[in-house]
Structure 1
Amino acid sequence: EVLDSMVDTEYWYVESGSRANGRGKKNGLRQTKKWWLPSPRVPDIGLSQFQRNRLVFQAKLVHQILKAAMSINEEVLLQIPIPPAVTDALPKSGRAGLGEDLYHAITTEYIPIEEIFLSLSLKTEHTVLETMNRLEGAVFAWNQRISEEKSKKSPGRHSWNFMKDSSSELDKMSMCIERVETLMQLLKSRFPSLPPTFIEVVKIQYNVDVGHAIVEAYSRVLVGVAFSILSRVAEILLEDDLIKKPNTPLATLKFDLSSDVYLAGITETPPGHIRRSLMDQISLVDGSLDAVVRKKGVKQLRW
């Protein structure tokens, strides 16, 4: 419906690069990562306020669809069991799954998940997917450990101190699982078009429930379409800003699709206050986690 409503627009598309790609280049337009896609163009005076407001309103609708589709897809994948044939390929412990640095951050109390998120090196889609695989592997290992410990409990065979220590360890694991799942939600919201993780792939491949298969496939396609629409709208708004604000540094005009600033674009926002892309922030704070840990000297959860 949103795509069908995009008729009689003030913008159009051309095969050459956009103004954003050419900003700062003296010898023509530079090649973009998605050079095969046509680039948006707007009138010399920019978009009218009515057209811009309409685009932002459509983006809000699509963003709601995106969030709903992601939630449905995630819920369906949780209901699909991991096939026993591949469990041997998954990590046997949280430390092995996360690696030393990320394990230290997750198991250290009072370090906000947002700080861990910003400290990750997420410069390419491959590194983001690799991080997601590590996080999912750790959650699987901890859940397996919790299940095994609960099945071993027997008041008649173990002392009270042993049971108390075991319960304390399980509580710590449960807390770490919550922290990892929160970090995974941040990654998914920031990178909604990320390919399926290893666990998701094997779940889909070995799934035998037709209903789950249909809902998972439909919601996954819907996520991709919604994200593509939001990306195209962001490119049009950026092109419009480059016309109306030619002296504004390009970095301050990069919108974060999931930010409130982007979705609330109906009201004028000073260029200097526009939130930069999280990818830009990540590149600035990459490797800062160790400094945070050393500065706070906080306690780490161990077992």
Structure 2
Amino acid sequence: MSRVLVTGRDGQVARSLAERAASHPGLDLHFAARPDVDLAVPGSAAAAIAALRPTLVISAAAYTAVDRAEDEPGLAHRINAEAAGEIAEAAAAVGAPLIHLSTDYVFGGTGTHPIPEDAPIAPLGVYGRTKAEGEARVRTAQLDHLILRTAWVHSPFGANFVKTMLRLAATREEIGVVGDQRGSPTSALDLADVILALAVRRLSGDAAGWGETYHAAGRGEASWAEVAQAAMDEAARYDAPTATIRPITTADYPTPAQRPAWSVLDTAKLDRTFGLRLPDWRGGIANVVARLVADA
């Protein structure tokens, strides 16, 4: 049985990992989360890694409140950059490979083609900048690692865009949703399947392809308005409440943090190296909406 330490417990990816791990009986997942482990406290995560001495670490927790980060840059930096480096150093100290999650928000939002891993980064806000620094610290501290950039994560768990759309549809006839930002919607459940497959492969002794950065996101591309419409279409299949989606511009919906207009990720490297790919984003939306409607 391989001991795997996962930072976080209640986030979308951590909860998805907990659920999907049932298909991997050889993995014993340990979730390091508050109050026992607090990434805002220096040394907290490192102490947990030193105590457990896991055979692999998955760094899934992060400060992800994109807008609030503009008002809390110190806390975002502490969690996304400093703690990321500490986790990498602690994993290296016990000889544990590390899978570290990052984000499409490290990119600047220009372009019209899917973004490859080696494209120049140019984060627009505090969240993206701190996640980019976290990547850099992982690369410096931990040679035996994978960095997985993902995007637009949704799931049956926690707070996310798809859940918000379904909630608003219960009380509104029309919802204005930004239609001029495009990205790679990703089901946390699909992402968890890929993370666990990578973990199993590495724990079997296969280190080919490690030490690099990969994009792991739903295939295809969409705007937020298209994601919202897909959620409404799926909800209608179950006679759940729906609303008319009205595309609006980014300028119509100002937010404290600037978001990239284009952050569609090229995921070919993950497929080429490991033979792994996430399903089309529409399938992820369908599965998540089905779960949410059933649980309502």
TM over 0.5: no
Structure 1 or 2, whichever has the larger Rg, is 1
Instruction: Report TM bin, short chain.
Output: under 0.3
- Higher relative strand content: 2
